[in-house]
Amino acid sequence: MVAVHSKTDNTVPYSNGIDGKGIQVHGGASIVQKATALNMPSTLYTYENIAHGAYLQPANFLPTVTTVSNFFYAQLKCRQ
């Protein structure tokens, strides 16, 4: 599992909490923490100082794709 999240996301908390509509949500950090506790392979790419949907910005495409690719290469035990 790969999670991408921004620490300054005002829509979904980075860890966990209540969103603007009063719904309990779990952000990238808490999801990866839970995956680790379940011994499930996971990684988290954190965007610094960017709002919700940071991965959609063209400047962030490459870091996102690289993070996801590296994770799957590791799972398949491929050389990078």
pLDDT in tens, 1-23: 788 888 887 777 778 877 778 88
Residue 10, H or E segment: none
What phi and psi, each to the nearest 5 degrees, are found at residue 51?
-80, -170
pLDDT tens per residue, range 55-67: 888 888 888 888 8
Q: What is the structure's pLDDT at 79?
A: 64
Phi-psi region of 14 (alpha: psi -120 to 50; beta: other; left: phi over 0): alpha
Q: Is residue 80 pLDDT above 60, yes or no?
A: no
Assess contact for 13 and 25: CB atoms under 8 A. Answer: yes
pLDDT band at 39 (very low <50, low <70, confident <90, very high): very high
User: Based on C-alpha coordinates, what's the Rg of the chain?
Assistant: 14
Confidence of residue 68 (pLDDT cuts 50, 70, 90): confident
